[in-house]
């Protein structure tokens, strides 16, 4: 938990509960430890940890065009800490059978830059030897919006994540709500 709290950035806007990062960094860990333990034992995630307040930020152009605004989600800091704890625990279950070592996208402390470099080297080598090389790049549009969560829970169970852990991830994602604030 200390690692999850230490990883938070100061000065960020809090979510609907109004508790800023600094509250949790300066003494909130003891209180939060009790909250987490209670949530874990009961198998319940407080709704406030799942709620987001979306505020719109004007970018440029016609102010009457919704496309010229960007949404920023303000999340409960407590919810962020809880999610970070779950992510840290999940990383102990990620093995090469689940996520291949070669995958760099969407993984901590990794970058796709190295893989792009390798592809470029391969391309140059094939060109130098007059050998054909066929590559396909696929960008799945809105892929995270289309994956059914039920499938994710099933995969967590199949790959050996403990039932209690999977239940808590489900509880965190079930009933998520967001309210959008426009112009104030």
Residue 19 CB burial class (10 angstroms; 0-12, 13-18, ≥19)? middle
Residue 97 reports pLDDT greater than 80: no
Host domain of residue 43 = 2-181
Number of folded domains in the chain? 1
Confidence of residue 130 (pLDDT cuts 50, 70, 90): very high
pLDDT for res 3? 75
Residue 2 reports pLDDT greater than 90: no
Indicate the angle between helix axes 163-173 and 77-90, nearest 10 degrees.
Answer: 150
Question: What residues form DSSP beta bridges with 56?
Answer: 71
pLDDT, one tens digit per residue, over 54-80 is 988 889 999 889 889 888 888 888 888
pLDDT for res 26? 77
Q: For residues 85 and 36, is the Cβ–Cβ distance under 8 A?
A: yes
pTM greater than the 0.85 cutoff:
no
Confidence of residue 144 (pLDDT cuts 50, 70, 90): low
Q: For residues 1 and 81, is the Cβ–Cβ distance under 8 A?
A: yes
Tell me the three-class secondary structure of the chain, residue by residue.
CHHHHHCCCCCCCCCCCCCCHHHHHHHHHHHHHHHHHHHHHHCCCCHHHCEEEEEEEECCCCCCCHHHEEEEEEECHHHHHHHHHHHHHHHHHCCCCCCCCCCCCCCCCCCCHHHHHHHHHHHHHHHHCCCCCCCCCCCCCCHHHHCCHHHHHHHHHHCCCCHHHHHHHHHHHCCCEEEEECCC
Q: What is the mean pLDDT of residues 112-126?
A: 90
């Amino acid at each position: 938990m200390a690692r999850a709290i230490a990883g938070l950035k100061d000065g960020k806007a809090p979510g609907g509960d109004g508790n800023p990062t600094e509250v949790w960094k300066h003494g909130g860990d003891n209180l939060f430890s009790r909250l987490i333990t209670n949530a874990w034992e009961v198998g319940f995630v407080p709704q406030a940890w799942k709620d987001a307040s979306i505020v719109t930020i004007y970018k440029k152009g016609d102010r009457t065009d919704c496309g010229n605004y960007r949404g920023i989600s303000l999340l409960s800091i407590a919810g962020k800490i809880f999610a970070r704890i779950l992510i840290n625990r999940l990383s102990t279950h990620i093995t090469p059978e689940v996520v291949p070592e070669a995958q760099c996208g969407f993984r901590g402390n990794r970058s796709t830059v190295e893989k792009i470099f390798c592809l470029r080297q391969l391309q140059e080598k094939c060109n130098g030897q007059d050998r054909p090389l066929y590559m396909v790049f696929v960008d799945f549009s809105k892929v995270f919006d289309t994956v059914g969560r039920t499938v994710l829970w099933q995969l967590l169970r199949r790959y050996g994540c403990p039932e209690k852990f999977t239940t808590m991830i489900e509880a965190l994602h079930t009933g998520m709500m967001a309210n959008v604030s426009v112009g104030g």
